Structure 1
């Protein structure tokens, strides 16, 4: 369709009008990226020069943690980069991070308003939600209390607590599985078995249910978590170039879908727990949350109604919080033990001499196993769980 001249006026086609608007918006974004306003009294932070629209994305490459490490050596422990059109403050070094996240933790406890975060837990996630005020603190306290209550709950059939019992049972199964695999294959990748075992423990903690390792429901949860991790790790361009929010995206559609599926799964379990809830028999973290809500219909700090949906969001956060980190910790531990068999031997000797082989180690044995504890702490210090934390605001 072409423009038609009528006297001295020209009528533009709809496609030409849309193109003109798009170019105008693009021009505004470019101009804004070049004219970043710095508040009076503050100076420009050090950092690499950013390109219009894409910022410093090209410099981050495939391994952004390595690229940022090199940049920090040039620009210092506090620098600014741009991802898309968003300015991002990058902190490096132990003392700098402690200052921000520990000493000034309240100042930096919020989350940025990234586009994708609104689809995690319907935007009400403790981990990804932007709210860090009184409502958030009240919900965090509720989650902590429920976790502590469950961790201290005694197992009616043994002298150990429920949490330790779940971990012990899964550890027995995992050791047996590793022995079978060694007999059959002589070598194997332990990760796929670790991740299912960790998922099983978290399911037992959150939902009071331990699955068979071939159970499709358990495997679907593991797959959901893997999909979420892959989507989060790859990043969503619309988070950093806002205009892309209005364009169709297969990645974003898949991200929304997997969050909806997981929320629906947890909601069903929470509803089932309500129908079978027994105040005298707290089976898991979901029961602990329901118990707290039954005792206090209104939260004493924020005066907010503790609804089923909030329980779903808290359970979802607790489920996701321990999944990747625990699996990664176990993977690093196994790698170090295989790499340094002499350390493995010393740990085994300490356990044999202190506890013997008549029973399994318990958490209460921690103070009598200094070498084993030292190995675990050193593993946490020396290994790398994640190159980045979730962005703070």
Structure 2
């Protein structure tokens, strides 16, 4: 037993030593090889420690630390996380220049360890691929989502099918919250908001909704925070390779979540294949199946949508707005409870403009300026997503006079923009997924 234990210790020690030598060698070689073209500036930024870079400086609130650093080094700077250099963008003008005006240069995703565990590394959103096949599948997914979002509702006066699903689920959620208030007097609304958001997306993707006590859905909804923690900017396991071989509770839960969620989607897609009717397209999954059977993906016959790819597309569509919508609704509820005077003004605007005979519709938006202002300010002030998902440069480029090499990981400090420039819009994630 002791022999096995000592061998295990030696094994870990060897891994640590080998990783240290590799990282040091990599940093030295990179520093000598990086040549800055004449007329361009080298990226500024703090010096990092060997092996760990600037990890210790970032602390538990990296968005605050990077905001302070940007005041010293500017809106374009470079830090090191482990042995990997990372470009940090701050300032609204700089971020718009990079993600909008030079969007093609910054549209990539870095090859991160955690991304490989999302739908077996085949996710459109987290994929490093941006070739012809990827673009065609992305376009097909976008078209399916857009079609079922704006499709007229056959059963109600709602503007579109998406609005009908949202309105129905809102009614159910309100009744549920009123029931809980009467029975328990106090409760955490997050769990019920999570399920309601999942039901809207599920109705669009799968044509059905779940009960608020459905254990399978709750088991997935309850670990969405762990998913966000792993894919968020600055996860050490993505930048310090040795951590991939050490026990990591967060990564273990992350991989278990992805496996369970993928299995759930595979079962749903299988059921759709078994009950599919060409003349009765019920939801987005049916639409994707139709496309795969009729080879409508593009004129290029080499681009096909296999059953496994449908699962990946549905996974991206289902997960795209799940966490962000849930979090934004939770923040909205918190602000409304904290500021009852604002809640009262919103209610007065709704009563005067719409009345209480019906629910608000998308077409009412131009007549509800105060309500819209509250929603936009909530997005800005809460900054519930301090960073966008990491980007990556697709080629050597130049930004604000600084030379930026290809394949450089990019962090976008959205928190700094939202708090330093009141009234600005949230930073868009322009990765074309």
**What TM-score do the two structures reach when normalised by structure 2?**
0.80
Match of 2:122 in 1: 124
Gap change, CA 1:145 and 1:66, over 3 Å in 2: same
| Cross-structure match for 1:33 | 27
How big is each residue's C-alpha offset from its partner over 1:19-57, in whole Å with a ceiling of 9 and x where there is no partner?
A: 779746633422432452322425431111100000000
| Aligned residue runs from structure 1 range 276-287, under 5 A | 276-287=275-286
Displacement after TM superposition at 1:217 (Å): 2.0
What is the count of residue pairs matched by the alignment?
A: 381
Matched, 1:83 2:52: no
In the aligned structure 2, how far is the partner of 1:141 from the partner of 1:46?
38
Provide the C-alpha distance between the structure 1 equivalents of 2:69 and 2:61, rounded to a whole number of angstroms.
13
Query: Comparing both chains, which one has the higher relative contact order based on Cα–Cα distances under 8 Å and sequence gaps of 6 or more?
Result: 2
Q: CA deviation at 1:96?
A: 1.0
Find the structure with the greater CA-based Rg.
1
Higher alpha-carbon deviation: 230-239 or 373-382: 230-239
- What is the aligned partner in structure 1 of residue 197 from structure 2? 198
Alpha-carbon contact 2:114-2:238 (below 8 Å) kept? yes
Give the alignment of 1:10-29 within 5 angstroms. 23=17, 26-29=20-23
Tell me, what secondary structure is at the counterpart of 1:90?
strand
Deviates more, 1:31-40 or 1:137-146: 31-40
Query: How far apart, in 1, do the equivalents of 2:120 and 2:177 lie?
Result: 39
Equivalent residue, structure 1, for 2:187: 188
Kindly report the root-mean-square deviation, in angstroms, between the aligned alpha carbons of the 2 structures. 2.7
Paired residues for 1:199-348 under 5 Å: 199-233=198-232, 237-246=236-245, 251-300=250-299, 303-348=302-347
Instruction: Report matched runs for 1:344-355 at 5 Å.
Output: 344-355=343-354
User: Post-superposition shift, 1:319?
Assistant: 1.2
CA distance in 2, matches of 1:17, 1:351: 66
Alpha-carbon separation, structure 2, partners of 1:19 and 1:328 = 42
Stretch moving more, 107-116 or 364-373: 364-373
Q: Name the CA distance, whole Å, in 2 between partners of 1:87 and 1:28.
A: 15
Within 2, Cα distance between the matches of 1:235 and 1:153? 40
Residue number in structure 2 paired with 1:105: 103
Tell me the secondary structure at the aligned position of residue 106 of structure 1: helix
Question: Which structure 1 segments of 5+ residues have no match?
Answer: 1-12
- 2:166 maps to 167
TM superposition score normalised by structure 1: 0.88
C-alpha contact (below 8 Å) 1:34/1:52 kept by paired residues = no
- Structure 2 counterpart of 1:137: 135
**Any idea what the Cα deviations from partners look like across 1:125-174, whole Å, max 9, x if unmatched?**
11111012222221221111001111123333323333222211111121
